[in-house]
Amino acid sequence: MVFAEPSKGPVFIAGDQPVTEDQVRQKLQSDGWSNVQVVRDGRYLEAIGSKNDQTTRVAVDAQTGRLRAADDDDDD
């Protein structure tokens, strides 16, 4: 059997290993984000917060610590 590996997004937390909500929150806060909220959505940790007076949302793969790849958006 051959398994297709999901496309890998950019590294957010180095190590290609599982990450926690707290690790994602701490990384964003150390990058200057404020009002950070993190919730699990399947295999992803969805984070929303503010930086430079703009609210932004990111999705981090909880299994690898990488950002969700652009072609892995399941919103549609």
Is residue 62 within 8 Å of 44, Cβ to Cβ?
yes
3 or 45, higher pLDDT: 45
Average confidence (pLDDT) over 28-42: 96
Please check whether residue 1 lies inside any domain of the structure. no
The pLDDT of residue 71 is above 60: no
Please check whether residue 3 lies inside any domain of the structure. no
Is residue 39 within 8 Å of 24, Cβ to Cβ?
no
**Number of domains the chain contains:** 1
Task: Let me know if 5 is exposed, middle or buried by CB neighbors in 10 A (0-12, 13-18, 19+).
Answer: exposed
Structural domain that includes position 32: 8-65
CA–CA separation, 29 vs 26, rounded Å? 5
Please check whether residue 16 lies inside any domain of the structure. yes
Please check whether residue 52 lies inside any domain of the structure. yes
Please check whether residue 51 lies inside any domain of the structure. yes
Return mean pLDDT, the chain.
Answer: 86
Please check whether residue 2 lies inside any domain of the structure. no
